[in-house]
Structure 1
Amino acid sequence: MSEQLRPAPRLAIVVPCYNEEEVFPYCLLELKKLLGGMVEDGLIRPDSFLLFVNDGSRDTTWEQITEAVLGNTCVQGLKLSRNEGHQSALIAGLTAVDGSVEAVVSIDADLQDDINAVRHMVEAYRAGYDVVYGVRENRQTDTWFKRTSAEWFYRVMTSMGIRQVSNHADFRLLSRRALDALLRYSESNAYIRGLVPMVGFASTEVRYARAVRLAGESKYPLRKMVALAMDGITSMTIVPLRLIAAMGFCICVLALIIAFYVVVMKLTGNAVLGWPSIVLSIFFMGGVQMLSLGIIGEYIGKIYLETKKRPRFHVESLIQNDMSEK
C-alpha cells in the first residue's frame, strides 16, 4: 500500500461474550499468547489490550472476566446492564475503546475465527490499510443448510445493491479513523457488516480457515440468523418496497388481461361458470396483500424505533487493568 510502514499501533481486541463460561478460559489464554507474541515481535505496542464485553450473560462469564482483569494488566472488562444482542454488544465495545488506540480488532469469543490472522491484519494496517476484513476460505465446518442459506443470503443482499464482503462476519480490523467514521452511524438497527464498507478508506482482505467450536453452543441459531438477515435488508435498502410496487403493477396488468379475456369469452358464448378461479384469485391476492403489508410494516417498525432515538445499550461497569471500576 504505502512505501513507508506505519508505526506499531496500540491495539485493542474487542470480544463480545454471551454465556461463554465454557470457552472463556481457552479464549483468554489464546488471545493473551497472541497479544504477547505480537508485542515481542514489535507488531504492536506493549500497552495493547483485550476488551471483553459481557452482553448480559446468565452464567459465570462476567465473574471470569473480572478475575481475568484483576490478574492481567492487558485485560479490560465491559459489562452491559442487560442482553442487547451481538451487534449492540460489539458497538458498545468499539465505543468504549479510548482515543489512544490506533487499531481495533473484533472477534467472537468462541475463537472459531483463526486468531493467527490478526497478525496479518496488523501487518496490512501498518502497510497503510484502514479496514482489513477477515474472510473465510470455505464453509466446510458448517452444516449443508447453513452453507446454502449463507450463500443465498449474500446473493440476495448483493442483488439489492447492499455492499458487503462475502463470507465475512464481524472479524475485522479498523484503524482509528475508520472506527471513528463507523461510530458516526447512530441508527438503532445497525447492521455493522453493511455499514463498514460504507465507511470507505483503503481496505483489503485476510483469508483464513474457520475452525469448529471447542465448547458451548452457537449464539446464532436459525431464529437469530433470520432476524439478522431481516435487519440487514431493512436497514440497508428499500429494494423490497420497490419490488412490492413492481409486483402490484404486474398484478394490475395481469388483471386487465384476464378481464379482457373474460369479456371476450362472454361475448362469444364460451364462458364457463365456476368458483375455483374466484377462490384462487381471492387467496392469491390475499396472500400478496398480507406479504406486502408485512414488509411495509417491518420498515414502519424500523422508522418507529429510529425516531425514538433510544440508546442502543447501557454500560453497567467498565473494569480496567489498573483495577479501577467505572
Structure 2
Amino acid sequence: MDSNTLTIVVPCFNEEEVLPETNKELGQILTKLIQEKKISAQSKILYVNDGSKDRTWEIISDYCEKYDYVTGIKFSRNYGHQNALIAGMTTANDYSDMIITIDADLQDDVNAIPEMVANYLDGFDVVYGVRNSRKTDTAFKRKTALTYYKLMGKIGVNLVPDSADYRLLSKRATSTLLQYKERNLFLRGMVPLVGYRSTKVYYARKERFAGKSKYPLKKMLNFAFDGITSFSVAPIHMIMNLGIMVVIVCLAMMIYTLVRKMMGDVITGWSSIMISIWLIGGVQLISISVIGEYVGKIFSEVKQRPRYVIEEDKFTDKTQNNE
C-alpha cells in the first residue's frame, strides 16, 4: 500500500436519485488530489449499501466496474446509518492511511475534503467538518439543536457543535475508535473520546441534492435520546431528583391536610386526590420508561450480536486484486 491512501466512506440508503451526482463530485475531488500527489493513486470511494430497496446497489456495482476508484459493500439488510459508517471504516482501515466519512446526499460540501487532507498532512489525526451556519435549517431545528448541544455539555458528553458525521480520521484514530465495541452507536460522541490531535474545517451546508431525508423528526428525536442514554446516566439521576421532589410535595400536602383537619376545616377533596394520583402515576410511568431504556441497551449489548452482516464485499476484492 502506498502512503497517504485515502478512503471516502459513503453510507447509502435508497440513494438512487443522488448517487450519480455524488459519484461525479467525489470522483472529481479524488482525481484532483491524486493528480496533485496529495494522496495515493490507490485511494478509493467506498459506498456502503445499507439495505436499500431501490437501485442503489445496482448503481454502485455498475460504478465498481466502470471506475477503478469506486468500491462498495452490501449489507444483507438495513442496519442503520451508524452501523454503515462503522462497517465502512472497519472494511477500509487495513488498506487506508486516512478515512473520510460523508453522507451521500451532498449536503456536506465535498470541497472541504482537500482542506481535511491538508490538515492530515500537517499532522492532525482527527479533522471535524463543521457547519459555519444553520441558515438552511428551520428556526425550530436551529433552536432544538442549540438546546441539545447545551444539554449534552451539561451532562458531560463532549460533542463538537454543528458537526455531524462528516470528518477525517487517521489510521490510528480509526483503529482506536474501532476498539469501542458497543452496539448502541453514537459516533458524534465517541470520536472525541479517541483523543489525538484534532482540528476543524468549516463549510456551508447545502440543501439536499435529491431524494428524501432519511432522518425525519421522529428518527432525529430517537437518535438524540440514544446519544444521551448511550453516554450518561444523568436521566436516572433526574428521576431520583424528581422522586425526591414529589415526596417533599406529598409531605407538605400531608402536613397541610392535618393542620386543616385539626382546625375543623374538613372538605372532601376529590379533585386533589385525582390530581395526585395522575401526577404520581405519570412520574412512575416516565421513570419506568427511562430505566427501561437503559435495561434495553444492556439487553442489546449482552447478546453480542453482530452489528451488521456484509452480503457482498467489492472493496476487499478490488483492493486485493490491485496489490
Question: What TM bracket, shorter-length normalisation?
Answer: over 0.9
Q: What is the CA–CA distance in structure 2 between the aligned matches of 1:288 and 1:154, rounded to whole Å?
A: 26
Indicate yes or no: 2:176 matched with 1:181: yes
Query: In structure 2, which of residues 78, 95, 100 is the aligned counterpart of residue 100 of structure 1?
Result: 95
Counterpart in the other structure of 1:57: 52
Counterpart in the other structure of 1:67: 62
Query: In structure 1, which of residues 197, 204, 207 is the aligned counterpart of residue 192 of structure 2?
Result: 197
Deviates more, 1:272-281 or 1:20-29: 272-281
Indicate yes or no: 2:5 matched with 1:17: no
Please give the secondary structure, in 1, of the residue aligned with 2:164: coil
**Which residue identity is paired with 2:25?**
E
Indicate yes or no: 2:195 matched with 1:209: no
Residues 27-176 of structure 1 aligned to structure 2 (within 5 Å): 27-176=22-171
- Is the CA contact 1:69–1:323 (under 8 Å) kept in the aligned structure 2? no
Please give the secondary structure, in 1, of the residue aligned with 2:8: strand
Specify every segment of 5 or more residues in structure 2 that has no aligned partner in the other structure, as ranges.
none
Please give the secondary structure, in 1, of the residue aligned with 2:47: strand
Shift of 1:152: 1.9
What's the CA shift string for 1:226-279, capped at 9, x where partnerless?
A: 111121111111000011111111211221122112111211223332211111
- Is the CA contact 2:93–2:171 (under 8 Å) kept in the aligned structure 1? no
Specify every segment of 5 or more residues in structure 1 that has no aligned partner in the other structure, as ranges.
1-6
Residues 150-299 of structure 1 aligned to structure 2 (within 5 Å): 150-299=145-294
- Is the CA contact 1:8–1:42 (under 8 Å) kept in the aligned structure 2? no
**Which residue identity is paired with 2:69?**
C
Please give the secondary structure, in 2, of the residue aligned with 1:171: strand
RMSD: 1.6
Q: Give the TM-score normalised by the residue count of structure 1.
A: 0.94
Shift of 1:215: 0.8
Identity within the alignment, %: 47
What's the CA shift string for 1:68-126, capped at 9, x where partnerless?
A: 01011111111010001101111111110142311000000011101111111111111
Q: Give the TM-score normalised by the residue count of structure 2.
A: 0.95
- Is the CA contact 1:8–1:43 (under 8 Å) kept in the aligned structure 2? no
Q: What is the CA–CA distance in structure 2 between the aligned matches of 1:45 and 1:267, rounded to whole Å?
A: 87
Q: What is the CA–CA distance in structure 1 between the aligned matches of 2:303 and 2:146, rounded to whole Å?
A: 35
Q: Tell me: CA distance 1:322–1:181, structure 2 relative to 1, closer, same or farther (3 Å).
A: closer
- Is the CA contact 1:160–1:239 (under 8 Å) kept in the aligned structure 2? yes
- Is the CA contact 1:8–1:126 (under 8 Å) kept in the aligned structure 2? no
Q: What is the CA–CA distance in structure 2 between the aligned matches of 1:110 and 1:268, rounded to whole Å?
A: 71
Shift of 1:8: 6.2
Q: What is the CA–CA distance in structure 2 between the aligned matches of 1:193 and 1:227, rounded to whole Å?
A: 15
Counterpart in the other structure of 1:309: 304
**Which residue identity is paired with 1:131?**
V
Q: What is the CA–CA distance in structure 2 between the aligned matches of 1:316 and 1:59, rounded to whole Å?
A: 17
What's the CA shift string for 1:106-162, capped at 9, x where partnerless?
A: 000011101111111111111111111101111111222222222222222122111
Q: What is the CA–CA distance in structure 2 between the aligned matches of 1:34 and 1:196, rounded to whole Å?
A: 25
